[in-house]
Amino acid sequence: MNRLFFNLLQKKYFIPSGLVTYLYLKNYYSLPGISCPLRAVTGVPCPTCFLTRSTCLALQGDLEDSFKMHIFGPFIALCLLVWSIKSIKTKQLFPFLITEKFLIIFSCSLLIYWILRMFYGFPLS
């Protein structure tokens, strides 16, 4: 058993698949997670609040509720699935390059969405 575990640790390209599996099972088995520290301290939700729940719902096929929780959830779920498949096929943890331009566009989109949510409300507030 321990040998199998250590062999899997050496094969880091299984990490994305493990993450997808964890997120898929999270709602079914009430697996532990980390609560938003910003919301716990200030009471203000951060730009990624409810993103984990939304991603879990999307992985379970509940796209309607997933979009209600966070609009980025289904897209993150899709990206995680693609990342898992590509990692296993190429046997690399990061089989593709994420550019600075992509990160800037993604971050700006997330901030704009967060500002809109601050005015129009969050799903559980």
Domain ranges of the chain: 2-120
| Phi, psi torsion values for 11, nearest 5 degrees | -95, 80
Q: How confident is the model at residue 34 (pLDDT cuts 50, 70, 90)?
A: confident
Instruction: Summarize pLDDT for 91-122 with one digit per residue, the tens.
Output: 888 888 889 999 999 999 999 999 999 888 87
Residue 123's contacts (CB-CB under 8 Å, 6 or more residues apart) are: 50, 68, 69
Is the full-model pTM beyond 0.85?
A: no
Residue in the structure block whose two tokens are 């990206």: 79
Q: 35 near 50, Cβ under 8 Å? A: no
d(CA 42, CA 73): 24
User: Among candidates 19, 20, 113, 122, which has minimal Cα distance to 71?
Assistant: 113
Q: b vs e for 101-114, b when ≥16 Cβ sit within 10 Å of the residue's Cβ?
A: eeeeeeeeebeeeb
Q: Does 125 have pLDDT greater than 60?
A: no
| Phi, psi torsion values for 12, nearest 5 degrees | -65, -15
Pull the structure tokens for residue 83: 């990342």
